[in-house]
Amino acid sequence: MTETSILTKKDLKSDQEVRWCPGCGDYSILNSVQAVLAGLGIQKEQLCIISGIGCSSRFPYYMNTYGFHTIHGRAPGIATGVKIANPNLSVWMVTGDGDGLSIGGNHMIHMLRRNVDVKILLFNNQIYGLTKGQYSPTSPTGLKTKSSPYGSVDRAFNPIKLALGAGATFVARTMDTHPKHMEQVLLEAANHKGSAFVEIFQNCVIFNDGCFEGVAGRKVRDERTVDLHAGEAMVYGEAHDKGLRFDGFELKGTSAAEAGVWDPSVLSTAPATVLAELDGRQDLPTAVGLFRRVNAPVFDQDVHAQVRAVLERKGPGKLKDLLYTKDAWTVS
């Protein structure tokens, strides 16, 4: 058979009919992921998409790559096993706010602290969609849902802060309404060595329609978001006329000219945390783009490095030597 070295988006579409609701933000994400993965220069057999359970987790079925639709919340465990067993694979994990932060929250933080070389796409729609509309760990307090008819009394997780707190080496945020931005963030995630955590604001057209409209809607997003780029000024606004700069542990609105330059690679996670806390309540935009990118030892590589080091020191072990030890004796 012949393999071309350059894939097209079409090569990555599986023969399965996509079954998300019409208007779901997931379509846009699927489209962007296919565009980015096709351009990575990786053969499709080297791509492996792993998901948990939920609307977003149907993702692998729509990708003509290797894929594993696993169980609720456990995609990080499976993805870690796959990546360790074959570090040559490009492993992508697709999860949601319920799958990745509620039932699978423990696995998520441990995957991030280990820095397993897996790219994590967290579709955040602030709702349980596949179970038909219950509040999730990212739902705002007070949200009325089927399981919170008087409003949710839960406090919400901030996924970016959770990832920063877990020691993630790459943390970014994008939105389903802005494919160009998403593709840029996904490409940066793909190029990162280690866990790359990408929160994607995703609209659930049925159960939480418009949950990010005030931030990510096409008409408002230039005014309501600031896009973080490494080494660039924190400027926003339709006319690129506004900016942000740090004043101690707080952010102040400034003119574009006075905006601070963003560095996602500083040792402290404090600046990124402050940016993550911008949630529209202040008179400031919500931050998207690159919150953090640092180099750290990569778990799957270190696992193999340790095996190689022992093999070099001891030589390949023989089964017979394991069984026939020095304390063995013979009966004749």
Q: Which residues bind another protein (CB under 8 A)?
A: 1, 3, 14, 16, 43-46, 48, 50, 60-61, 63-72, 74, 76-86, 88-89, 106-107, 110, 303, 306-307, 310-311, 314-317, 319-320, 322-325, 327-332
In the complex with another protein, the residue whose CB is nearer, 148 or 301, is 301
Q: Closest separation between CB of residue 80 and another protein, Å?
A: 5
Nearest C-alpha neighbor of 174 from the set 160, 163, 162, 161: 160
Our CA angle for 275, 103, 142, nearest 5°, is 60
Mapped onto helix, strand or coil, the DSSP state of residue 159 is helix
Map tokens 């990832």 to a residue: 163
Token readout for 213 is 């409209």
In the complex with another protein, the residue whose CB is nearer, 283 or 321, is 321
In the complex with another protein, the residue whose CB is nearer, 77 or 243, is 77
CA dist 290 and 299 (Å) reads 22
In the complex with another protein, the residue whose CB is nearer, 62 or 291, is 62
Q: Closest separation between CB of residue 54 and another protein, Å?
A: 13
Mapped onto helix, strand or coil, the DSSP state of residue 43 is coil
Q: Closest separation between CB of residue 108 and another protein, Å?
A: 10
Q: Closest separation between CB of residue 193 and another protein, Å?
A: 19
CA dist 85 and 124 (Å) reads 29
Q: Closest separation between CB of residue 92 and another protein, Å?
A: 12
In the complex with another protein, the residue whose CB is nearer, 281 or 314, is 314
Q: Closest separation between CB of residue 15 and another protein, Å?
A: 8
Backbone angles phi, psi at 213, to 5 degrees: -60, -40
In the complex with another protein, the residue whose CB is nearer, 35 or 103, is 103
**Are the beta carbons of 95 and 122 closer than 8 angstroms?**
yes
CA dist 315 and 292 (Å) reads 40
Amino acid code (one letter) for 128? Y
C-alpha distances (whole Å) from 224 to each of 7, 181, 184, 188, 218 are 36, 15, 19, 23, 10
In the complex with another protein, the residue whose CB is nearer, 19 or 144, is 19
How far does CA 202 lie from the centroid of its chain? 13
CA dist 5 and 229 (Å) reads 31
Classify residue 211 by its DSSP letter. Answer: T
In the complex with another protein, the residue whose CB is nearer, 96 or 285, is 96
Task: Please say whether the dihedral angle defined by the alpha carbons of residues 307, 192, 12 and 69, taken in this order, is positive or negative.
Answer: positive
Q: Closest separation between CB of residue 56 and another protein, Å?
A: 14
CA dist 44 and 66 (Å) reads 8
Q: Closest separation between CB of residue 298 and another protein, Å?
A: 14
